[in-house]
Amino acid sequence: MTEPQPEKGNILLVGAGPELAGDVRTALTPAGYQVHVAATGGQALELAQEASFNILLVNSDLDDMDVWQFCQHCRDTEATRGLPVMVLSPA
């Protein structure tokens, strides 16, 4: 039996569909990361005010706002200003 990994950090996955969210959780949870999912950019900005995340993984095709608007909101908000943002684009 393997020992549980210590928690390495919190990841907020933004605008990903259920399949991608499942894939990201499957890949990162065993490595000790907690993956949280926000369906929209607006929901992600609200969650980021309430919880602490280490990185934001953002779908390039958000339903409620342009991904660059989302990034600008992150820079303009104290709670998210210093967070790294990685934009995910489908192949």
Q: How confident is the model at residue 6 (pLDDT cuts 50, 70, 90)?
A: low
pTM of the model: 0.87
Distances (CA, A) of 84 to 2, 4, 13, 36, 71: 31, 26, 12, 15, 10
The mean per-residue pLDDT over the stretch 71-76 comes to 94
Sign of the four-CA dihedral 41, 36, 28, 33: positive
pLDDT exceeding 90 applies to what percent of the chain? Answer: 82
Q: How would you label 62-79 residue by residue, b for 16+ Cβ within 10 Å and e otherwise?
A: beebebeebbebbeeeee
From residue 90, how far is each of 12, 20, 59 by CA, in Å?
18, 10, 8
Q: Does residue 2 register a pLDDT over 60?
A: no
